[in-house]
């Protein structure tokens, strides 16, 4: 629970927001004393209530494992929605896009495996911008651009190995997470032709010249977070080009302006992080190889609504849990969804949230609350 919120400004104007941390017995005793005094002297209490969790209203679900062959999702990896309500699911194993109508009815497949125009090798991310959809074709190290009905338009080369940790803005510019690998900055920005525009964002820890897997495994056993984990982030842009960067192995996120200036950074106070970290330690303790390890992921995906609010989907396999923050970094509340392993989310123009399951391959449609 977040009890006290402390704000400070650095010399460069960046707002840093921190919380007192988790509740301890000592803090409870202090709060109880304040409450007793405030009751006796009719003084206001100093406790800030945490916004309560809300259950998402399930409107529809479709897909799954028991579907015709052409609709089977071999390895769904991302989801997008057009302004008309068409739903696109990217499949990195089938190397295509499955397109569904607003009501979940299957429409068609787009693409196939290959290196030619409109073909894919391990595609990993999709985004709809300017009435087109942009696909990170990771295996071919390029971005391909299509019309919303699936017609190939063009492509350009980018240094993308995987689609995780990238985002497009409204103009089709591409932001990539460097992960600090041979780069002193966190994020690289490329125009819609693939040209490098700038790099920005300070690293957490040191840059990495190479991956020393044995050292990483040793640091995990010692209870340390390796530098290679610290700079693993997810990215998403809002409608005016601001960029959110959420660390996957640290409890923080940052917001940057379209020019790359850090606007603020915010701590994420989620009780679920403790369980995720404990599971991470357990899996690594059972891994006998000195150079094999499990990575630490607190967060699975991000979404932005029409008001610029940030939705952070936690890496919780048993239930869909989302933490919501305002465009200014204020914690708004927690959303609870279905008991399924949801790993991708997207928000439509009509204020509905879609969740894609990694295990059952269902696509769920929820109505978002009108307010928090």
CATH number, position 345: 2.120.10.30
43 and 74 housed in the same domain? no
124 and 104 housed in the same domain? yes
User: Residue 155: which H helix or E strand, with range?
Assistant: strand 152-157
What's the pLDDT tens digit per position in 247-302? 999 999 999 999 999 999 999 999 999 999 999 999 999 988 888 999 999 999 99
What's the pLDDT tens digit per position in 127-162? 998 789 999 999 999 999 999 889 999 999 988 766
| Residue 67 resides in a domain | yes
Q: Which residues contact 274 (CB under 8 A, 6 or more apart)?
A: none
135 and 22 housed in the same domain? no
210 and 226 housed in the same domain? yes
3 and 133 housed in the same domain? no
**Overall number of domains in the chain:** 2
150 secondary structure, DSSP code: S
322 and 181 housed in the same domain? yes
Q: What is the DSSP string of 131-197?
A: TEEEEEEGGGTEEEEEETTS-EEEEEE---S-STTEEE-TT--EEEE-TTBT-SEEEEEE-TTS-EE
Q: SS3 of 278, please?
A: helix
pLDDT reading at 39 higher than 80: no
In which domain, by residue range, is 73 found? 52-367
36 and 155 housed in the same domain? no
What's the pLDDT tens digit per position in 197-246? 999 999 999 999 998 999 999 999 999 999 989 999 999 999 999 999 99
| Residue 199 resides in a domain | yes
Rg of the chain on CA atoms, in Å: 22
| Residue 372 resides in a domain | no
23 and 109 housed in the same domain? no
| Residue 239 resides in a domain | yes
96 and 59 housed in the same domain? yes
How many residues are there in the chain? 372
44 and 70 housed in the same domain? no
What's the pLDDT tens digit per position in 347-370? 999 999 999 999 999 999 999 998
pLDDT reading at 26 higher than 70: no
| Residue 149 resides in a domain | yes
156 and 243 housed in the same domain? yes
| Residue 179 resides in a domain | yes
Q: Mean pLDDT over all residues of the chain?
A: 86
**Predicted TM-score of the model (pTM):** 0.86
| Residue 22 resides in a domain | yes
Task: Specify whether the CB–CB gap between 143 and 158 falls below 8 A.
Answer: yes
17 and 136 housed in the same domain? no
The pLDDT score that the predictor gives to residue 141 is: 92
| Residue 120 resides in a domain | yes
């Amino acid at each position: 629970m977040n009890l006290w919120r402390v704000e400070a400004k650095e010399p460069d104007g960046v707002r840093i927001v921190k919380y007192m941390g988790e509740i301890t017995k000592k803090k409870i005793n202090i709060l109880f004393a304040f409450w007793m005094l405030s009751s006796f002297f009719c003084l206001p209490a100093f406790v800030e209530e945490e916004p309560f969790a809300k259950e998402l209203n399930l409107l529809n679900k479709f897909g799954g494992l028991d579907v015709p062959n052409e609709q089977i999702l071999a390895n769904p990896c991302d989801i997008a929605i057009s302004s008309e309500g068409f739903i696109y699911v990217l499949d990195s194993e089938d190397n295509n896009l499955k397109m569904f109508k607003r009501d979940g009815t299957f429409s068609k497949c787009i693409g196939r495996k290959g290196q030619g125009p409109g073909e894919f090798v391990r595609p990993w991310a999709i985004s709809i911008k300017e009435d087109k959809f942009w696909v990170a074709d990771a295996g071919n190290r390029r971005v391909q651009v299509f019309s919303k009905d699936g017609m190939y338009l063009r492509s350009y080369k980018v240094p993308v190995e995987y689609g995780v940790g990238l985002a497009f803005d409204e103009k089709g510019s591409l932001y990539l997470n460097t992960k600090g690998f041979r780069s002193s900055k966190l994020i690289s920005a490329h125009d819609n032709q693939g040209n490098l525009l700038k790099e920005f964002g300070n690293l957490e820890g040191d840059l990495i010249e190479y991956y020393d897997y044995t050292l990483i495994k040793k640091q995990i056993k010692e209870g340390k977070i390796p530098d290679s984990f610290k700079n693993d982030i997810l990215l998403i842009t809002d409608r005016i080009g601001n960029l959110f960067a959420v660390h996957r192995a640290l409890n923080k996120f940052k917001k940057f302006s379209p020019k790359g200036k850090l606007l603020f950074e915010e701590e994420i106070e989620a009780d679920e992080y403790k369980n995720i970290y404990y599971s991470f330690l357990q899996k690594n303790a059972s891994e006998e190889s000195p150079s094999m390890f499990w990575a630490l992921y607190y967060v699975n995906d991000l979404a932005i609504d029409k008001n610029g609010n940030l939705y952070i989907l936690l890496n919780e396999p048993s239930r869909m849990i989302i933490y919501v923050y305002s465009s200014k970094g204020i914690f708004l509340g927690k959303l609870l969804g279905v008991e399924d392993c949801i790993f991708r989310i997207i928000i439509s123009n009509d204020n509905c949230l879609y969740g894609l399951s990694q295990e059952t391959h269902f696509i769920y449609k929820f109505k978002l609350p009108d307010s928090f």
